[in-house]
C-alpha cells in the first residue's frame, strides 16, 4: 500500500525520522516528502506547515501526482471537552470547519462551505482497522468530531464560542477539515489521529509549547506501531 502521513509541525514529526529508515527525499509539488519502505508499505511523510491552505496544498500536491491508498493526518490538537486531557488520543470520526459562515448565502449551516458537506465523515474500512488495532493493543483513545480553523484557540472566550456552535466536538486544530475536504474530492480514505497538547483556553499557548513535542511523539508512536503490524 502507498500511505501518506501528513504532519503540520516538525516537532510532531521527529519520531518518524528516528523510527523509519529514510530512503529518499522527493519534492512533490509544493512539499518535500520523505519516502520510506516499511514492511509491504510505501510511506510518504510530508511536513505540510500549519493551517488549512498549507494542509490542502501538501495533500493536493501528493494526490495529484501519486496514487495513494490511505492518508494519515496527525499531530496535536486543543481539547474542547473536560474529559479530553493533555496527552489523550482522539481519532476523528468527522472533521468540520469552525470558522466558516455562509449561512446567509443559502441553505447552509455554520461550518459549511457552499456546495460542500456540513461535516466530512471519515467512515472507512481502514479507520475501522485502525480502531480495532487500538482496542487490541489496549491503547486508550476517544472518537468523535474534531473542528478546524485558521486560529490557534487560546482564550476561554473563543473556546466557548466554538463549543456553542459545535457542542460535541472533542478537539480543535488547524488542518483536519481541509485535509478531509481534499481527501473526499480525490476519494482517498483518511484517518485523523490527534494527541491533545492543550485545552484551547487562556493557558493554551503555554501548554502547547510545553507539550507539543511530547504528544506529537505519542501520536507518531501509535501510527508507527500500527504500520509495524503489517
Ligand atoms: N493545535 C494544538 N492546539 C491547538 C489549539 N489550541 N488551537 C488550534 N490548533 C491547535
pLDDT at 22: 86
Is 198 considered catalytic here? Answer: yes
Nearest Cα residue to 161 out of 91, 102, 80? 80
pLDDT tens digits, one per residue of 172-188: 999 999 999 999 999 99
* Pocket, ligand 1, Cβ cutoff 6 A: 76-78, 152-154, 172-174, 197-198, 200, 204, 208
Q: How far is the CA of 120 from the centre of ligand 1 (A)?
A: 19
230 pLDDT more than 80? no
Which residue range forms the structural domain that includes residue 107? Answer: 2-228
Question: In the chain, how many domains are there?
Answer: 1
Strands 142-148 and 89-97: parallel
Q: Helix (H, G, I), strand (E, B), or coil: what is residue 20?
A: coil
Is 12 considered catalytic here? Answer: yes
Burial of 220 (0-12, 13-18, 19+ CB in 10 A): buried
Nearest Cα residue to 181 out of 66, 101, 70, 94? 94
**Secondary structure, 3-state, 160-216:** HHHHHHCCCCCEEECCHHHHHHHHHHHCCCEEEEEEEEECCCCCHHHHHHHHHHHHH
Q: What is the CATH number of the domain that holds 140?
A: 3.40.50.1580
Q: How far is the CA of 47 from the centre of ligand 1 (A)?
A: 17
pLDDT tens digits, one per residue of 13-46: 889 988 888 889 999 998 999 999 988 999 999 9
Q: How far is the CA of 159 from the centre of ligand 1 (A)?
A: 10
Is the complex ipTM more than 0.90?
yes
Cell numbers representing residue 157 in the block: 472566550
**Active-site residue among 88, 198, 201, 207?**
198
Instruction: State how far the alpha carbon of 91 is from the alpha carbons of 38, 88, 119, 193, in Å.
Output: 23, 10, 15, 5
Amino acid at each position: 500500500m502507498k500511505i501518506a502521513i501528513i504532519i503540520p509541525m516538525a516537532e510532531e514529526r521527529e519520531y518518524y525520522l528516528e523510527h523509519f529508515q529514510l530512503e529518499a527525499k522527493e519534492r512533490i509539488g509544493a512539499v518535500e516528502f520523505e519516502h520510506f519502505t516499511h514492511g509491504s508499505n510505501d510511506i510518504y511523510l510530508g511536513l505540510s506547515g500549519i493551517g488549512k491552505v498549507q494542509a490542502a496544498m501538501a495533500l493536493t500536491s501528493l494526490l495529484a501526482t501519486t496514487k495513494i491508498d490511505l492518508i494519515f493526518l496527525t499531530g496535536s490538537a486543543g481539547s474542547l471537552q473536560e474529559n479530553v486531557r493533555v496527552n489523550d488520543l482522539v481519532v476523528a470520526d468527522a472533521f468540520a470547519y469552525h470558522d466558516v459562515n455562509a449561512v446567509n448565502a443559502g441553505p447552509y449551516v455554520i461550518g459549511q462551505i457552499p456546495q460542500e458537506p456540513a461535516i466530512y465523515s471519515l467512515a472507512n474500512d481502514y479507520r475501522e482497522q485502525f480502531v480495532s488495532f487500538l482496542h487490541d493493543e489496549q491503547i486508550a483513545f476517544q472518537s468523535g468530531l474534531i473542528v478546524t480553523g485558521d486560529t490557534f484557540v487560546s482564550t476561554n472566550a473563543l473556546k466557548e464560542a466554538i463549543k456553542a456552535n459545535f457542542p460535541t466536538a472533542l478537539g480543535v486544530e488547524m488542518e483536519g477539515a481541509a485535509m478531509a475536504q481534499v481527501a473526499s474530492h480525490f476519494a482517498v480514505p483518511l484517518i485523523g489521529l490527534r494527541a491533545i497538547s492543550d485545552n484551547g483556553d487562556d493557558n493554551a499557548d503555554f501548554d502547547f509549547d510545553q507539550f507539543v513535542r511530547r504528544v506529537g511523539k505519542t501520536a507518531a508512536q501509535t501510527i508507527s506501531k500500527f504500520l509495524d503490524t503489517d
